[in-house]
Amino acid sequence: MSPLIPYGASCLVTGGAGFIGCALAPRLLEYFDQLLVLDNLHPQVHPHGALPAALPEKVHFIQGDVTDRQAWDTLLAEHNPALVVHLAAETGTGQSLTAAHRHAEVNVSGLACMLDAMVRHNKRPQRIVLTSSRAVYGEGAWQGERGIVYPGQRSKAQLEQGQWDFPGLSPLPFAAQHTQPHPSSVYGVTKLAQEQLLAVWGEAMAVETAILRLQNVYGPGQSLANPYTGVVSTFAMLAAAHKSIPVYEDGQITRDFVFIDDVVSALCALIAYPAVPRHPLDVGSGQAVTIAEVAARIARRYGAPAPHITGAFRHGDVRHAACELSPTMAALDWRPQVFLEEGLERFCRWVDQQRKVAF
């Protein structure tokens, strides 16, 4: 991050006790005198209700919910953050279908609650950074014989028949500049609503807003207990217990796994960027890999039995997700440094340490 960062002394990270927040905090402390974290220690992410050990002691931690007007009033009565990084969210893609209200309330109303509180207290930060998601694209754009099409959400009937792909079409990588968002999960809808809400509010209030659309983030610090997010951690825990990893659909779902350090460096680049980019920026590794391949690599790492293909499916899961990185690399002078082989090994070594502590 540039030491010329033009922000004031204080930075607020909502949801800062989570995976990305804990990895980002040490970097932010290099540049801000005060780092505030507002987090409700969601039981699904923090099952013991304790602050994560990875959160630096210097952080000023405030336990509170982003949907709680009173929590915002207390925070903003005392503090005036120059930069806000909004990470707090309900993040379960599959879970969001049956917990739609909770996802909408936290992700959409929670953000609106923060923005209203800023107006009430007349405390407008210089910049608000939002971590959005590749989920806003849904199935994204596919190449057909007659051009680009948006096939939309895969239907229940289609999935029940095991028709995983869209016949005659091939997937294209997501790119914020030209892929239209078509979310196919409740979670994706709420992340898109967050983006739009923030952009409209920021424009009217003369607050800079910047959005990163993250692909699947993995790495040390990821929750090993949350069953609703993080396929890499689920796979690692199964393989470490010498179980065969169950793989959904036909194993050919693809994802773009981006290592946590690369997400932190992209966020830092965006935070230090002198003028915010007009469009959201995609952050991934730029490489698509099948879920079967990831499961096989992790199983080999632990000497576990080979993964097995189940043919099961989850509503809201898209078939292919990867992004085109060149616009982000050009805009932020950033590039991913840690690719899958190294990233998985670093992650598995960390999982091994956690298992030693637990047993």
Ligand X SMILES: NC(=O)c1ccc[n+]([C@@H]2O[C@H](COP(=O)([O-])OP(=O)(O)OC[C@H]3O[C@@H](n4cnc5c(N)ncnc54)[C@H](O)[C@@H]3O)[C@@H](O)[C@H]2O)c1
18: which residues sit within 8 A by CB, 6+ positions away?
39, 45, 87, 88
Catalytic-role residue among 187, 248, 273, 302: 187
Q: Quick one: which of 85, 88, 325, 338 contacts ligand X (CB under 6 A)?
A: 88
Query: Contacts with ligand X in 99-158 (CB under 6 A)?
Result: 106, 110, 131, 133
Least distance in angstroms from the C-beta of 17 to ligand X: 4
| CB atoms closer than 10 angstroms to residue 216 | 20
Question: Comparing C-alpha atoms, which of 92, 94, 184, 179 is closest to residue 141?
Answer: 179
**Contact pattern for ligand X over residues 200 through 239, marking x by CB under 6 A:** --------------x-xx-----x----------------
Which of 166, 201 has the CB closer to ligand X? 201
Rule CB under 6 A: say whether 179 interacts with ligand X: no
Active site residue 248: no
Q: Which stretch binds ligand X (CB under 6 A): 74-82, 85-93, 167-175, 323-331?
A: 85-93
Report residue 140 as tokens.
């994204």
Site residues (CB under 6 A) for ligand X, limited to 266-325: none
Q: Which of residues 3-42 bind ligand X (CB under 6 A)?
A: 14-15, 17-21, 39-42
- Part of the chain binding ligand X (CB under 6 A), chosen from 25-33, 64-72, 142-150, 272-280: 64-72
For residue 333, give both structure tokens. 């002078």
315 in the Ramachandran plot: left (φ > 0), alpha (ψ -120 to 50) or beta? Answer: beta
Nearer to ligand X, 97 or 309 (CB): 97
> Is 260:20 a contact under the CB 8 Å cutoff?
yes
What span, in angstroms and rounded, lies between the C-alpha atoms of 60 and 329? Answer: 33
Q: With contacts defined by CB under 6 A, how many residues of the chain interact with ligand X?
A: 29
Contact between 262 and ligand X by CB under 6 A: the answer reads no
Q: Which of 89, 104, 118, 294 binds ligand X (CB under 6 A)?
A: 89
Considering only CA atoms, which of 24, 43, 22, 21 is closest in space to residue 225?
43
In the bound complex, what is the minimum distance in angstroms from residue 312's beta carbon to ligand X? 21
Query: Between residues 240 and 266, which has the closer beta carbon with respect to ligand X?
Result: 266
* Residue 14 vs 185, nearer CB to ligand X: 14
Q: Which residues pair with 62 in a beta bridge?
A: 38
Beta bridge partners of 246: 308
The yes or no reply on residue 67 touching ligand X (CB under 6 A) is yes
Cα separation, 133 vs 152, in Å, equals 17
In the bound state with ligand X, the residue whose beta carbon lies nearer, of 94 and 166, is 94
Residue 274 CB-density burial (10 A; 0-12 exposed, 13-18 middle, 19+ buried): exposed
Q: What angle do CA 27, 31, 35 make, to 5 degrees?
A: 75
CA pair distance 140, 111, nearest whole angstrom: 25
Question: Which residue's CB is nearer to ligand X, number 231 or number 240?
Answer: 231
User: What are residue 217's DSSP bridge partners?
Assistant: 258
Name the residues annotated as catalytic.
Answer: 187
- List interacting residues with ligand X (CB under 6 A): 14-15, 17-21, 39-42, 45-46, 65-67, 87-91, 106, 110, 131, 133, 214, 216-217, 223
